């Protein structure tokens, strides 16, 4: 079959590529399986969210095991100050309405699940200073996004960063037709799937400490590095950075977790260490629990980066190998729009279409067509 140049391509079929794969036999044990995992932060100025789940053994077909039907409350030294309710849209995720709590007090969470009670240690509510700025530097390989901040009171010193990335991208080809189950019909403008928005939460644990400095100033704390060839910066990119001031003990926990999950690879890297959670089974202190509960406020800041502001030598690499091929469709006769390239030009009846894989012509495979409300 002939190959054609890139014009406006119709994608009406998805090709599934099969390859020979040898099953990987992973030997696992039940040791430390089904451990409670607690992810959350007591937000003293907004809604508090806590996610509960259970660990699974390596090789298990079930990779996510949310913990439902738990009872979770927020407490200070005097008693309960808030109740979390499980979200109907997300099993194992619990939340409160927006709360305003006293930042001069200490807080903890109480979890009742499967007949057991878990309690986190009372922890200081840290008031997070504002993010002064979020920016980026350009290097030979891409861009490095960073954050600047300072605490004039010199009380923060330990910072945890999270981020949410959003970017606009286009497919390699444009699909102008779709199947309605009986045949091919032309897409309306609202049905086009060549331009979408991608989303990704934090991929790494990002920390910064000013404890060794005379002033509590965070300068260009590295948040995320984006290769110059990444699709994320092919059109327009946005990042929402969240800054949280945490205690020295919380910082030690997240630093240990970071080393255990991101820096293992050789004998010269940091070796695994036991994580010191501040959450305990009140009836059995020896039961392991994964997670760390902190309290206080958060600060956020968003920036946008346009492709036009980046070096012209940053050439985007499409994340999939794409091709254009032809598919014969007998007895299908209609008049295509001008941009459609038929296998046989008018006035002859159309007997075929160009096609490609869905990953190359349908952006909804990995994104959303709807523009986010914050996009500008």
Percent of the chain with pLDDT over 90: 68
pLDDT at 330 over 80: no
Write down the pLDDT at residue 357. Answer: 82
Taking residues 345-374, report their average pLDDT: 79
Cβ–Cβ < 8 Å for 96, 84: yes
Distance CA 254, CA 321 (A): 38
From the number of C-beta atoms within 10 Å of its C-beta (0-12, 13-18, 19+), residue 77 rates as exposed
Question: What pLDDT was estimated at residue 37?
Answer: 95
Q: Does residue 40 register a pLDDT over 90? A: yes
Question: Residue 320: its pLDDT value, please?
Answer: 92
Please write the tens of the pLDDT for every residue from 181-216. Answer: 777 788 899 999 999 999 999 989 999 999 999 999
Above 80 in pLDDT, residue 100?
yes
Q: 325-328 and 49-54: which strand pairing? A: unpaired
- The reported pLDDT for the residue numbered 159 is 98
Find where tokens 């409670």 sit.
36
Smallest Cα–Cα separation from 113: which of 200, 192, 53?
Answer: 53
Percentage, residues of the chain above pLDDT 70 = 80
At 273 the pLDDT is: 54
Average pLDDT score over the chain: 84
**CA–CA separation, 54 and 128 (whole Å):** 31
The token pair at 278 is 């501040």
What does the chain come to in residues?
376
At residue 298, the 3 state secondary structure works out as strand
102-112, pLDDT tens digit by residue? 999 999 999 99
Using CA atoms of 283, 286, 290, 296 in order, give the dihedral in degrees to the nearest 10. Answer: 60
């Amino acid at each position: 079959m002939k190959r054609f140049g890139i014009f406006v391509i119709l994608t009406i079929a998805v090709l599934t590529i099969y390859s020979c794969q040898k099953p990987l036999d992973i030997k696992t044990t039940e040791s430390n399986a089904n451990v409670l995992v607690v992810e959350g932060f007591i937000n003293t100025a907004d809604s508090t969210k806590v996610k509960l789940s259970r660990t699974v053994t390596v090789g298990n077909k079930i990779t996510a095991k949310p913990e439902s039907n738990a009872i979770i409350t927020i407490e200070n030294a005097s008693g309960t100050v808030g109740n979390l309710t499980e979200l109907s849209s997300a099993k194992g995720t619990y939340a409160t309405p927006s709360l305003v709590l006293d930042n001069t007090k200490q807080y903890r969470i109480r979890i009742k699940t499967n007949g057991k009670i878990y309690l986190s240690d009372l922890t200081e509510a840290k008031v997070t200073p504002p993010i002064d700025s979020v920016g980026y530097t350009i290097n030979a390989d891409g861009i490095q996004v960073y954050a600047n901040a300072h605490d004039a009171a010199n009380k923060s010193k330990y910072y945890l960063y999270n981020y949410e990335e959003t970017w606009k991208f286009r497919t390699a080809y444009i699909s102008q037709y779709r199947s309605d189950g009986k045949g091919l019909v032309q897409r309306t403008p609202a049905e086009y799937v060549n331009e979408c928005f991608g989303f990704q939460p934090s991929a790494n644990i990002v920390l910064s400490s000013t404890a060794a400095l005379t002033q509590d100033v965070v300068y260009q704390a590295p948040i995320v590095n984006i290769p110059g060839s990444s699709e994320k910066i092919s059109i327009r990119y946005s990042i929402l950075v969240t800054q949280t001031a945490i205690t020295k003990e919380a910082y030690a926990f997240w630093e240990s977790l970071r080393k255990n999950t991101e820096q293992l690879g050789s004998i010269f890297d940091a070796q695994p260490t036991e994580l010191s959670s501040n959450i305990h089974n009140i009836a059995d202190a020896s039961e392991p629990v994964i997670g760390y509960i902190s309290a206080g406020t958060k600060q956020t800041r968003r920036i946008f980066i346009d492709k036009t502001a980046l070096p012209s030598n940053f050439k985007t690499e499409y994340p999939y190998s794409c091709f254009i091929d032809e598919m014969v469709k007998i007895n299908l006769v209609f008049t295509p729009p001008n941009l459609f390239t038929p296998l046989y030009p008018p006035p002859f009846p159309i007997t075929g279409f160009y096609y490609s894989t869905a990953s190359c012509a349908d952006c909804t495979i990995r994104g959303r067509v709807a523009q986010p409300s914050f996009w500008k």
